[in-house]
Amino acid sequence: MSLARKISAVTEMRQAEWIFICGFLIHLGIMYPGFMCYDAVNQILEAREGVYSDWHPPLMAIIWRFTDSIVPGPAGMLFLQLGLVWVGAYLSFQAFFKPYGGKTLAALLGAILFLPPLFGISGAILKDVLMWGALFTAFGMAGHIKNHNEQIPRIAFLLFALTVLVLWLAILIRHNALFATIPILSFALYRLYPKNSLLGLARAAIPGAALTLVLFLATGAINNRLADRHTYPWVANASFDIAGVIKRLEDKGRQQAIFDQLAGSLNSTGSVEPLLKAYTPMYWREVFRTKPPTLQLPTNSMESQIHGFESLSDQQRQTLHTQWINTILAEPVLWARHRLAVSRYVLGLVPDNSWSPVMMAKDFPGDLEHFYGSHPKANKLQEWLEAGMSKYVEYWFFQPWPYFVLTICLFFAAVFRQGTANIEVICLTSSAILHELGLMLAAPSPDFRYSHYMVFCSLLGLLLLARHWLAKRESVHWQAFNVVDKRRARVE
């Protein structure tokens, strides 16, 4: 066999691998060196200072401190984020798609990552993107776990342990990854001790949820230890929820009474009226922007160094926490109406209010540049891509709600279809649905990046559900191609 034919044979065998390698390199090349928004600049400033707050995950700043010492700026974190995403794509292909076919499914899986609703923020250095990569990698890794008849037990337990560690990374990076983690960890347990039924999966969900809770509690303890500055970000959610209930109360006296207690916990005073005018379910911070000020953020709480609510005393925080719980218990219907109003913004059901579905060069906070230092300007390709995608951010395909509806439909389609191969679709869509429901309970604003993981899961779930049909199409195509090729050979 000639050298050219040997190279061709190797290329044919490894075509899927080349798709993912090239996809990663193209993705990295387009987004290089990575884009910085307010959150990212605050995190890298903490990384460079070596003093960490818990407003953002301390572990991410610690990792960034290491990468920044090797490649200053966002490039190291961009490599890590996209590396996890593309490793997840490769592992998922090998586990869930390769048995159904080769090149076509590999190309489609890679192409999903370049679709504008996913691609638009993938180059921004965000805990949401890092969480996405960790969850995707864990899902692909879980798919490689096999029962003891097909795999050496040591290998299966090693893969399970690695899956748990990567899921723990997701929670350490983004605390609300708790909700998305439960189905993936349950799936890993199901693969470790398979029961080929939905009942078996439901049984695996109990220890899966328990183990996830352990990881979540351990994360809280670790983050508390890693943080040098404790900012108490939950205070923002508590103030937002209480303000939402106050807004919906009809009794003016109770409005003022609850407001007085809230204001007292936050070193503020005044009338409830400015808060009633300022409140919107779109954003928690609006209740702190009243003019004249009533609820007031602590000085420098959101500047180049995030101090959050650390100036509040232990007694004030305890009082606020108690009021938060008591307000929800006393007015559960009004709280639910507040959270449903927030959910409409989160899902993009309110026109023109989905935040930042494209995050590239224009998002760099110029007012923080004198703290951060000069940043690379976008190249022509990046400017063209950003301008092109930004034209369509108000269209339905840049809103989370169609993907949420699709995810729910995919979940029920997988549940009611026969075949154990749909178990992974059930777990993936469950992960997305729980993640989005968690946002509806706690999201402080309608950032598209919060729903980014759910958008991805809906598209991947659709491809998983269609893989058998796509494999048949590919098989028919290649059979026809081989027949034509043989006829040509005979003629020659």
Position 196 scores a pLDDT of: 65
Q: Side-chain half-sphere of 486: how many Cα atoms within 13 Å?
A: 6
Averages of pLDDT over runs of 10 residues in the chain (492 residues) are 52 76 97 94 94 93 95 95 97 92 87 96 96 98 83 87 97 95 95 76 91 96 93 94 96 94 89 91 88 76 81 93 96 97 94 82 89 89 95 92 97 82 91 96 92 98 89 55 44 48
Position 489 scores a pLDDT of: 45
Name 294's Cβ contacts closer than 8 Å, sequence gap at least 6. 259, 263, 268, 269, 270, 271, 272, 274, 275
Position 307 scores a pLDDT of: 83
Burial class (CB in 10 A: 0-12, 13-18, 19+), 162: middle
Dist CA 42 CA 127 (whole Å): 12
Q: Is residue 271 part of a domain?
A: yes
Position 447 scores a pLDDT of: 92
**Same domain membership, residue 88 and residue 182:** yes
**Same domain membership, residue 30 and residue 101:** yes
**Same domain membership, residue 136 and residue 253:** no
Q: Is residue 224 part of a domain?
A: yes
What residues are paired with 53 via a beta bridge?
Answer: 229
In the chain, the number of structural domains is 2
pTM given for the model: 0.91
Q: Is residue 111 part of a domain?
A: yes
**Same domain membership, residue 381 and residue 247:** no
Q: Is residue 159 part of a domain?
A: yes
**Same domain membership, residue 341 and residue 201:** no
**Same domain membership, residue 251 and residue 133:** no
DSSP of 131-191, one letter per residue? HHHHHHHHHHHHTT---TTTS-HHHHHHHHHHHHHHHHHHHHH-TTHHHHHHHHHHHHHHH
**Same domain membership, residue 336 and residue 296:** yes
Handedness of CA 127, 129, 133, 138 (dihedral sign): positive
Name 330's Cβ contacts closer than 8 Å, sequence gap at least 6. none
**3-class SS shares of the chain: helix, strand, coil, % to 5:** 70, 0, 25
State yes or no: cis peptide before 292, omega within 30 of 0. Answer: yes
**Same domain membership, residue 259 and residue 163:** no
Handedness of CA 419, 421, 425, 431 (dihedral sign): positive
Q: Is residue 367 part of a domain?
A: yes
Enclosing domain of residue 224: 15-228+360-397
**Same domain membership, residue 324 and residue 375:** no
Query: Three-class SS of residue 53?
Result: strand
Q: Is residue 257 part of a domain?
A: yes
**Same domain membership, residue 256 and residue 193:** no
Dist CA 171 CA 165 (whole Å): 10
**Same domain membership, residue 327 and residue 268:** yes
**Same domain membership, residue 366 and residue 340:** no
Dist CA 115 CA 121 (whole Å): 11
State yes or no: cis peptide before 74, omega within 30 of 0. Answer: no
Q: Is residue 156 part of a domain?
A: yes
Dist CA 457 CA 433 (whole Å): 9
Position 413 scores a pLDDT of: 93
Q: Is residue 436 part of a domain?
A: no
